[in-house]
């Protein structure tokens, strides 16, 4: 199969989503510093390109399951920004009425089905969604996002084996940012690449530079088409780097200084912007306009979140079951 190249329109849309994720992260950190959010934050800074390039190939009907470091995956998939902000601020106007928070953001209307705080748990549930699509005879696909650390937990093995044996329309996307919590990849994992594990499940795999939008788009296209056409699952290992450590506020002392400096110097958002200009894909005015529109969306969203009231205490009894707990 010839690798698909994104069109100009698609590239600009990938850039818009990337800029939204980047801008959202800036807001989040600003709000944390101002003491207006008091919650752990697993910043996706540095990993923006992966879901942005992939999600332009998905429809609202396609499902994703993601993890605590997954706000970029959700924004790329179309999570409404206002409701996202109300949720992270713990307000009733949030997607989950303030009951889930940043680690459990959910929005089925855009196919954002599960966000888990448990390493590896996106994968087995993604299989079930994919199985349902298969039984329905639809061409819907499911994407399971996870990190490199999750490839060492049992759910990875169980889920990949089941997806392979049942030929499920699912795409396992490992965002390999080279650290699991505070521990370097090589300390915990003997195989050189996560994608090296796919042959153990007789599953096709792609190892790709996740910070390169064109390469990432091509890899995603191949995997999504395979799933849509009934040809089963794919494991994508998308190489990237996280800029803000494991959780916001950790001191990074466990990271190699020169490695981090090199990663920051190669900031994928900055590089993407300059590549678009160099290649003549977009003008500076066009990109500036995208960035301004993203900022306007974020201004409005943060304000919406701040103005939304807190949930009623009756919410403690609601949604435990379909019927309210007495």
Partner 1 sequence: MSDRMTMVQALNLALADAMAENAKVLVFGEDVADPEGGGVLGVTKGLSSRFGPSRVRSTPISEQAIIGAAIGASMAGYRPVPEIMLMNFTTVAMDMIVNHAAKLRFMSGGQTSVPITIRMTTGAGFATGGQHADYLEAWFAHTPGLKVVAPSNPADAYALLRACIDDPDPCIFVENIASYGSSGNAPKRHEPIPLGKATVSRAGEDVTVVSYSRVANEALAAAESLAAEGISVEVVDLRTVSPWDQETVLQSTRKTGRLVVAHEAVRSFGVGAEIAATIGAQLFGQLKAPIVRLGAPFCPVPYSNTLETAFALRKGDIIDGVKAVMEPVANKAPEMS
Question: Reduced to 3 states, what is the DSSP secondary structure of residue 303?
Answer: helix
Task: Establish if 116 lies at the interface with partner 1 (CB under 8 A).
Answer: yes
Q: Binding segment for partner 1 among 3-11, 122-130, 223-231, 297-305 (CB under 8 A)?
A: 122-130
Smallest separation (angstroms) from partner 1 to the CB of 125: 4
Of 118, 117, 114, 116, whose CA–CA distance to 128 is shortest? Answer: 114
For residue 297, give the nearest of 19, 8, 12, 30 by alpha carbon: 19
- Shortest CB 117 distance to partner 1, Å: 8
> Based on CB atoms, which residue is closest to partner 1, 54 or 130?
130
Scan residues 83-102 and list those touching partner 1 (CB under 8 A). Answer: 94-100
Of the candidates 145, 142, 66, 54, the one whose C-alpha atom is nearest the C-alpha of residue 105 is 66
Nearer to partner 1 (CB atom), residue 113 or residue 198: 113
Binding mask 133-162 for partner 1 (x = CB under 8 A): x-xx-----x-----------xx--xx-xx
Report the nearest approach of partner 1 to the CB of residue 94 (Å): 7
Q: How many residues bind partner 1 (CB under 8 A)?
A: 47
Q: Which of residues 1-40 bind partner 1 (CB under 8 A)?
A: none
Per-residue interface string for the shown chain with partner 1, residues 165-194, x marking contact by CB under 8 A: xx----------------------------
- Which residues neighbour 99 within 8 Å (Cβ) at sequence distance 6 or greater? 311, 315, 319
CB within 8 Å of 104: residues ≥ 6 apart: 96, 115, 116, 117
Based on DSSP, count helices (H) and strands (E) in the chain, helices before strands.
Answer: 11, 8
Rounded to an integer, what distance in angstroms lies between the CA atom of residue 298 and that of residue 122?
Answer: 28
User: Nearer to partner 1 by C-beta: 145 or 241?
Assistant: 145
129 binds partner 1 (CB under 8 A): yes
Rounded CA-CA distance 202/7 in Å is 32
Pick the stretch among 173-181, 182-190, 232-240, 313-321 that binds partner 1 (CB under 8 A): 313-321
Give buried/exposed letters for 98-128 (b at 16+ CB in 10 A, else e): bbbbbbbbbbeebbbbbbbeebbbbbbbbbb
Q: How far does Cα 324 stand from its chain's mean position?
A: 33
- Tell me the pairing of strands 142-147 and 183-184: unpaired
Q: Is 309 in the site for partner 1 (CB under 8 A)?
A: no
Interacting residues with partner 1 (CB under 8 A): 63, 65, 94-100, 104, 106-108, 113-114, 116-118, 121, 123-133, 135-136, 142, 154-155, 158-159, 161-162, 165-166, 318-322, 325
């Amino acid at each position: 199969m010839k690798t698909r190249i994104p069109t100009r329109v698609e590239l600009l849309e990938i850039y818009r989503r990337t800029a939204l994720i980047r801008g959202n992260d800036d807001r989040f950190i600003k709000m944390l510093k101002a003491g207006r959010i008091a919650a752990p934050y697993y910043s996706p800074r540095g990993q923006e390109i992966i879901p942005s390039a992939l999600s332009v190939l998905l429809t609202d009907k396609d499902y994703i399951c993601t993890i605590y470091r997954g706000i970029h995956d959700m924004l790329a998939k179309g999570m409404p920004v206002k409701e996202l902000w109300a949720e992270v601020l713990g307000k009733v106007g949030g997607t989950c009425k303030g009951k889930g928070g940043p680690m459990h953001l959910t929005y089925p209307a855009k196919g954002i089905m599960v966000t888990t705080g448990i390493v590896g748990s996106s994968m087995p549930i993604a299989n079930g969604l994919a199985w349902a699509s298969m039984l329905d005879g639809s061409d819907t696909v499911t994407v399971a996002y996870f990190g490199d650390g999750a490839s060492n937990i049992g759910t990875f093995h169980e889920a990949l084996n089941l997806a392979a044996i049942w030929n499920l329309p699912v795409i396992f996307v490992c965002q390999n940012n080279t650290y699991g919590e505070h521990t370097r990849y090589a300390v915990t994992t003997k195989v050189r690449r996560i994608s090296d594990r796919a042959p153990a499940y007789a599953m096709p795999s792609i190892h790709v530079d996740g910070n390169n939008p064109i390469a990432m788009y091509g890899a995603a296209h191949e995997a999504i088409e395979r799933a849509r056409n009934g040809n089963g699952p794919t494991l994508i290992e998308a190489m990237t780097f996280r800029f803000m450590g494991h959780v916001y506020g950790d001191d990074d002392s466990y990271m190699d200084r020169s490695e981090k400096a090199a990663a920051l110097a190669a900031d994928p958002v900055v590089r993407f912007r300059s590549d678009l200009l160099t290649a003549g894909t977009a003008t500076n005015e066009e990109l500036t306009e995208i960035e301004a529109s993203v900022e306007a969306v974020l201004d409005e969203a943060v304000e919406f979140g701040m103005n939304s009231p807190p949930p009623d205490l009756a919410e403690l009894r609601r949604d435990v079951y379909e019927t309210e707990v007495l």
